[in-house]
Amino acid sequence: MFDFVIRRLLALMPVLFVVLVIVFSLVRFIPGDPAVTLLGPGATESQVAALRAQLNLDAPLLQQFLEYLTGLIQGDMGRSLKSGKPVADEILARLPATLEISVFAVLIAIVVGIPIGILSATRPNSGFDHLVRVVSLVGVSIPAFLLALLLQLIFATWLGLLPVSGRMSAYLFVEPVTGFALIDAWLSGESGAIRSVLVHLVLPTSVLAAFLAATLGRFVRTTMLEVMTEDYIRTARAKGLTWSTVVYGHALRNSLLPAITVVGLKFAEMLGGAILTETIFAWPGIGRFMFEAIRNRDYPVIQGTTLVFALLFMLTSVVVDIIHAMLDPRVRGKMR
Amino acid sequence: MNDLIRFFRINTLATAGTSILACLLVAILLGPFVGIASPLELNMAERLQPPSADHLFGTDSFGRDMLARIIHGGRYTLAIGLGVVVVAFIVGVFFGTIAGFLGGIADMVIMRIVDAILSFPALVLAIALAAAFGPSLQNAMLAVAITLAPQFARLARSQALGVSVKPYVEAAVSLGLPKHRILWRHVLVNAIGPLLVQASLSVGSAILQTASLGFLGLGAQPPLAEWGADVSANLQFVRSSPWTALGPGFAILTTVLCFNLIGDALADWFNPRRRSEM
């Protein structure tokens, strides 16, 4: 198992290298002189020179890249053009907020998506099955920003049940210890703090979870229907095992393994969705940070957030592979 | 072909999707001839009017007719969906087939780049690229195409790998045919089916991604009647006049849903096991 993890990490290195090249190149994709473009037409020559120096655009390309790499290894992602603070610190401060909604969204998606897929596959072509198929297809087709708007309108504006946006009620003062609002609220011991945080979490996590739950439901349904036609299912039935033993003991196990991979891969797409969701719900995570950076043309921040999103994704896919290998010995063998 | 038509007939959802898209296409083509208002015509006296007989979908904060803007925006959306997928398809299939057929160093270099692009959440990379290229509809489309192409490359590579060990390709090689000819005339032609399914499934996500860039201000710029940009332009009025933002939003949902219905049906069609189930 240890061998597998090491090999998986080594296999990641060339990909990580290309990822770094892409992120490094982002500023260089700006048409014309990036410094002139960023500062606008009114910039003086000394301002342009200062920005070129700050973005490290004057050295030869290879040297720029090497310096970028050395910086990264030391945890230096450059400084924000807007706030002047180190990008790495700014991202670290916002990471817990993004992880908080992402983790809750994944949990909701698993709890909702998988059972729906199973129920749908065990009753193919029933009314429930058709309903699930249509709803899940809408779930993968709806733009995240539309779903967010609809939920805000219905549950916040019209029904007044949930807050429109934000992370907790403004009158609450909770000391940010860990950065995770829920844990901080619990630590603060302030009455109503936990409830306030939970209530604020409902809408943004639902929006994030919707796409993942719909994808999972569709995927589990399809794999399970295919697994049900396998020979070993027929054998199990022929042996006289009960229908529920066959479905939950044989079919389910074999359909859920690939579902783990889907959760991992779609988790990444969900992170992309966090940019839209966090922006709409004024959620102080790295998604909204990236959106603000785009508005301010703050390229060091855009580079930093893009890299962090990619690293989170790569990390997820390694973890998914490891879980997969733990559950399925065939996968471990294949990596040799 | 007859089989395919019959298949669509049995598959009600796919037929519904095709019909709705056909209606949208007719509206786009005939709109200008049957007196649909201009999507750019300002009329401040009639700003933020709710849906009525005069303005079926209401008006926005500049008094522009929302129905006209949605129908007009449909042009961009269809052009975006098809344009992005065609570019991604050509680029992805080109490199993927080469990687699968030639193998060796070409395969390694191409696939590492593919892996790297796939290591970014698609929307994040599209946003970062669009931000670097500068905000415009063309740049947004290019950015989305770049994030979509690797999926085609991966699929084309595995298809090419599978086909290139078939006896007829070996025969072509032993006949001494030039590589490029074997590649296009024998390998690609036989690998095309699953690629077309992937293409039809990608149209929906191409539209969604480009609309998301438009929503974030990185795609089409005002006063262009693009749906994603229209949703975000009307965001500040959404609580008092919800139709302004919801109209274009639902237009995106409907179109993407239709393309996904058709893509799903085609995927079933190319899957022999499920085709026999129908």
pLDDT at residue A316 in the model: 86
Contact A290 B129 (CB under 8 A): no
C-beta separation of A24 from A68 below 8 A: yes
Within 10 Å of residue A135's Cβ, how many Cβ atoms? 14
Whether residue A294 and residue B121 make contact (CB cut-off 8 A), yes or no, is no
pLDDT value for A53: 81
**Rounded Cα–Cα distance for residues A336 and B22 (Å):** 52
Question: Lowest-pLDDT range, A121-135, A219-233, B137-151, B183-197?
Answer: B183-197
Average pLDDT over residues B107-123: 90
Q: Which residues, in sequence order, are bridge partners of residue B65?
A: B59
Local structure of A306: helix, strand or coil: helix
State how far residue B252 is from chain A, nearest Cα, in angstroms: 7
Q: What residue type is assigned to position B26 of the chain?
A: V
pLDDT at residue B63 greater than cutoff 80: no
In whole angstroms, give the CA distance from residue B13 to residue B265. Answer: 8
**A297 chain-B contacts, CB cut-off 8 A:** 131
pLDDT band per the 50, 70, 90 thresholds, residue B84: very high
Residue B277 confidence (pLDDT): 55
Q: Is B257 exposed, middle or buried (0-12, 13-18, 19+ CB in 10 A)?
A: buried
Residue B275's pLDDT is 58
The letter for the amino acid at B18 is T
Q: pTM value? A: 0.87
Q: Mutate which of A306, A308, A316, A318 to disrupt the B interface (most B C-beta within 10 Å)?
A: A306
pLDDT in tens, chain A (336 residues): 788 888 888 888 888 999 999 999 888 878 777 777 777 777 788 888 888 887 777 888 888 889 889 999 998 888 888 888 999 999 999 999 998 898 899 999 999 999 999 889 888 888 888 899 889 999 989 999 999 999 999 998 889 888 888 887 777 777 777 778 788 878 877 777 888 888 889 999 999 999 889 989 988 988 888 888 888 888 988 888 888 888 888 888 788 888 887 888 777 778 778 889 999 998 999 999 999 998 888 888 999 999 999 998 888 888 888 888 887 777 666 554
pLDDT of residue A150: 93
At residue A336, the pLDDT reads: 46
CB contact under 8 A, B121 and A269: yes
* Chain B residues near residue A320 by CB distance under 8 angstroms: none
Given a cut of 90, is residue B207 above it in pLDDT?
yes
For residue A198, give the H/E element and its range: helix A193-227
Query: How sure is the predictor about B39, in pLDDT bands with cuts at 50, 70 and 90?
Result: confident
Amino acid identity, residue A234?
A: R
Q: What is the Cα gyration radius of chain B? A: 22
Mean pLDDT for B224-235 is: 87
A145: nearest CB among B117, B212, B256: B212
Residues of B in contact with A141 (CB under 8 A): 204, 208, 253, 256-257, 260
- Residue B274 pLDDT level (bands cut at 50, 70, 90): low
Provide the pLDDT confidence category of residue B150 given band limits of 50, 70 and 90: very high
Q: How far apart are CA B209 and CA B145, in angstroms?
A: 10
Beta-carbon neighbour count of residue A204 at 10 Å? 27
- Which chain A residues are Cβ-neighbours of B13 within 8 angstroms? 133-134
Task: Tell me the chain A residues in contact with residue B251 when contact means C-beta distances shorter than 8 Å.
Answer: none
Read off the tokens for A9.
């990490």
As a whole number of Å, the CA-based R_g of chain A is 24
Instruction: Report the percentage of chain B scoring pLDDT > 70.
Output: 95
CB contact at 8 A, A269 and A93: no
Contact B131 A302 (CB under 8 A): yes
Neighbour tally for A62: CB within 10 Å: 8
- For A11, residues 6+ apart whose C-beta sits below 8 A from its C-beta are none
The encoded tokens of residue A175 equal: 């000391």
If you count residue pairs, one on A and one on B, with CB atoms under 8 Å apart, how many are there?
143
